[in-house]
Amino acid sequence: MFGKKKCRIDEECEISLPQDDYSDKCKAERARDMLIARAWYQITTPELTGSERRTEFPLTTVPWLNQAETSAKFYYAVEPFLSRHITLLQAINAVFRGQVKSQLIQAFADFKVDNVNDFKAIMKAVNEAVLTLKIPHFFDNPSLHPDTFTDLFYNDAWMQDKVFSQSLLANDLPWSVKKVTFSDTVGINFNDLLSMLNMEGGVDFDEEISSCYGGGEDITLEQAVEKGVLFAVYFSQLNDLKNDPDYHAGQTGTATLDENTSPIALLCKTEDKELKIAAIQLDYLPTSIVLTPDTSLEWMKAKATINMAKTHVQTGYYHLGNCHILATIFCTTFRRHFGTKHPLYEVLKHHCEGSTSMITLSIKNLLSEGNFIHAGFGIGVNGLRDITQQSWDDRYFGQLDHPKLMEQTGIKKGEFESYPYLEDGELLWEEYSKFTTELVDTFYYWDNDVKNDEELQSYAKELSPEGIINFTGFPSKIEDKKQLAEVLRSILWYNIIHSAVNYGTPPPFLPNTPPKLYTDEENTSFLSLGNSHHVVSVSVIANQLASVRANRLMAYYDKVQDKKLRKVVRKSYTRLHGCIQKTLEERNAERKKKQKSGAQYLEPKWLTNSIHV
């Protein structure tokens, strides 16, 4: 009692669809939520210029959070839910990228790092440094667990051709191999490939592919396509892409930076269903040099050139472009449309933890002269920005869905003796399907409930080509429960794509996957990637990216207050971390027995719940 008046305690607003909110008080709360969120989550348009454009986001055609970096730093440091992630990153940055890196640079100052052993010593020291932080839940990676991880580096297995080929199907960017076909939509078109191959350069491709295939008969390239045994790695994004001026010019002795190229690897499927490398052409033009397998340094360097091309496309097109820019748009935008009591708000909040803040606060620095990309990549800031821009220009919603991405490679399940990403990704895709279907079934009883959900429909419209985000292929109206479950699945799936491109190859061993390559005067070594300072810096940053995990997939169930929603998330958590974890662990153990790379990064215990590093 307050004097003679009763103090009435209102009912708390429940998690519900907006159309089910009959109380005026709850409707007013939803409207207020939206106003507060929209005050911060403002989106740029290409027309926005001058003082109205507050963000320093470097890709101006991409719609982005319209806030200055200084404001964003403050906002994310104090925002109650998101500050946890920022605090973690800052702490790891201070210790690992600060103190540890300085100590390692000093320790390796006299190393020339022009031989494999110097690289191994640096990799070992960086790995050991990860463990010294002693926060394994947040800072660890599968390669630091030799009982389960197939170590292909210390024993030099990585130098073997069979390991090179198998890694293409297991490790980072594991959809880079494509079947050569007569189709225009599946795999790599044979005629397109022929138009790029140097048929007059002294290498007989028919002979090479016959020997690679080993079917006991001489076959032509065309017959190899007919038999379904010809495969290739080629990235059109790299055609004609030039290097930036070398950051390390003048510091590398007689070694000069190699020109960037767009190489092509030709591979075959052997009789025993293994992928095998047959030849590498160093650029996509039909006058380019072609090398075939032998034990020379030139051949090792040709394989490194393919891995370098993969690293460029992985980093720019898929990692920065698709994961940190395209997928982050879904995270920035949901706050503008869903009230905090909408069931999808509660889900997306956790699956977006750290996504917008991480890249908003780091991209300007990342794409600045004198920083990591400039120092680490031959194509530098401008080259990487070009590739990243291509991913935005090519955007198509759902293009990275597991079945679609695998279909585009032309490779079917069972075609190879082992294709870890295809096989393990399939189990995870099934779980994502189950989770989003159960989620939708729990809160939407009829298809009309989807149609009548104004917050959802407003979200869809803004993302679609009818809205300011203009994401090609995103539906402007979501018609029914099935479609909603599919849309949610595609949005959440980007997290798995991120796992494959960010966590796919721990540890980063630079002679195998170099970000830049040099040639010295006598061409005696392909390993001179710059000085030890550069190698340590790149190793520390790459290892940090591969090791930070602020959350785990579906582990937020105990933070969800709504009982129905908590049950759905908990069921998925239990399936993932129980049966699926066990199955994938067993598969990786089998792969290790056969001395093959596993895909530990897809085991639920290593999967994050959001894209945040």
Burial class (CB in 10 A: 0-12, 13-18, 19+), 17: buried
What is the nearest approach in angstroms of Fe ion to the Cβ of residue 501?
Answer: 7
Residue with Cβ nearer Fe ion (64 or 518): 64
Long-range CB contacts (within 8 A, 24+) of 42-50:
42/66, 42/67, 43/332, 43/333, 43/336, 43/468, 43/469, 45/468
- Measured in whole angstroms, the distance separating CA 560 from the mean position of its chain's CA atoms is 27
Closest CA to 222 of 203, 206, 238: 206
* Beta partners for residue 233, in sequence order: 177, 265
Q: What is the DSSP-derived secondary structure letter of residue 148?
A: T
- Measured in whole angstroms, the distance separating CA 401 from the mean position of its chain's CA atoms is 13
Burial class (CB in 10 A: 0-12, 13-18, 19+), 394: middle
CB atoms within 10 A of CB 457: 16
CA distance 556 to 544: 24
- Only one of the segments 129-137, 228-236, 426-434, 494-502 lies at the binding site for Fe ion (rule: CB under 5 A); that segment is 494-502
Closest CA to 492 of 445, 545, 438, 435: 435
CA distance 231 to 276: 9
Binding characters for Fe ion, 447-486, by CB under 5 A (x = yes): ----------------------------------------
Residue with Cβ nearer Fe ion (502 or 588): 502
Kindly identify the residues of this chain, within the stretch 368-387, that bind Fe ion according to CB under 5 A: none
User: Does 610 participate in binding Fe ion (rule CB under 5 A)?
Assistant: no
Residue with Cβ nearer Fe ion (76 or 164): 76
**According to CB under 5 A, which one of 16, 44, 502, 597 is a site residue for Fe ion?**
502
Kindly identify the residues of this chain, within the stretch 333-352, that bind Fe ion according to CB under 5 A: none
What is the nearest approach in angstroms of Fe ion to the Cβ of residue 549?
Answer: 11
- Only one of the segments 109-117, 502-510, 523-531, 534-542 lies at the binding site for Fe ion (rule: CB under 5 A); that segment is 502-510
Please name the helix (run of DSSP H) or strand (run of DSSP E) that holds residue 257, with its range, or none. Answer: strand 256-257
Residue with Cβ nearer Fe ion (502 or 610): 502
Residues 609, 352 contacting (CB under 8 angstroms) = no
- Only one of the segments 27-35, 90-98, 380-388, 499-507 lies at the binding site for Fe ion (rule: CB under 5 A); that segment is 499-507
Kindly identify the residues of this chain, within the stretch 121-180, that bind Fe ion according to CB under 5 A: none
Residue with Cβ nearer Fe ion (166 or 502): 502
Residue with Cβ nearer Fe ion (528 or 600): 600
Residues 6 or more apart whose CB falls under 8 angstroms from that of 141 comprise 130, 503, 506, 507, 543, 546, 547, 606
- Only one of the segments 107-115, 196-204, 416-424, 496-504 lies at the binding site for Fe ion (rule: CB under 5 A); that segment is 496-504
Residue with Cβ nearer Fe ion (34 or 326): 326
- Only one of the segments 91-99, 269-277, 447-455, 501-509 lies at the binding site for Fe ion (rule: CB under 5 A); that segment is 501-509
What is the nearest approach in angstroms of Fe ion to the Cβ of residue 324?
Answer: 6
What is the nearest approach in angstroms of Fe ion to the Cβ of residue 230?
Answer: 33
Closest CA to 340 of 3, 9, 12: 12
What is the nearest approach in angstroms of Fe ion to the Cβ of residue 89?
Answer: 12
Residue with Cβ nearer Fe ion (292 or 328): 328
What is the nearest approach in angstroms of Fe ion to the Cβ of residue 331?
Answer: 13
Q: What is the DSSP-derived secondary structure letter of residue 526?
A: S
Residues 463, 333 contacting (CB under 8 angstroms) = yes
Binding characters for Fe ion, 69-98, by CB under 5 A (x = yes): ------------------------------
Give the SS3 label for residue 137.
coil
What is the nearest approach in angstroms of Fe ion to the Cβ of residue 503?
Answer: 9
Residue with Cβ nearer Fe ion (261 or 502): 502
Residue with Cβ nearer Fe ion (537 or 608): 608
Buried b (16+ CB within 10 A) or exposed e, 173-196: bbbbbbbbbeeeeebbbbeebeeb
**Residue with the shortest CB distance to Fe ion:** 502
What is the nearest approach in angstroms of Fe ion to the Cβ of residue 548?
Answer: 9
Residues 6 or more apart whose CB falls under 8 angstroms from that of 111 comprise 118, 121, 122, 532
Buried b (16+ CB within 10 A) or exposed e, 379-389: bbbbbbbbbbb
Count of residues touching Fe ion (by CB under 5 A): 1
> Which residue shows structure tokens 């080509």?
465
Residue with Cβ nearer Fe ion (373 or 560): 373
- Only one of the segments 52-60, 247-255, 256-264, 495-503 lies at the binding site for Fe ion (rule: CB under 5 A); that segment is 495-503
Kindly state the tokens that stand for 133: 């932080």
Residue with Cβ nearer Fe ion (357 or 502): 502
What is the nearest approach in angstroms of Fe ion to the Cβ of residue 320?
Answer: 8
What is the nearest approach in angstroms of Fe ion to the Cβ of residue 169?
Answer: 22
- Only one of the segments 155-163, 291-299, 500-508, 558-566 lies at the binding site for Fe ion (rule: CB under 5 A); that segment is 500-508
Residue with Cβ nearer Fe ion (210 or 502): 502
Return the CA Rg of the chain: 25
Interface ranges with Fe ion (CB under 5 A): 502
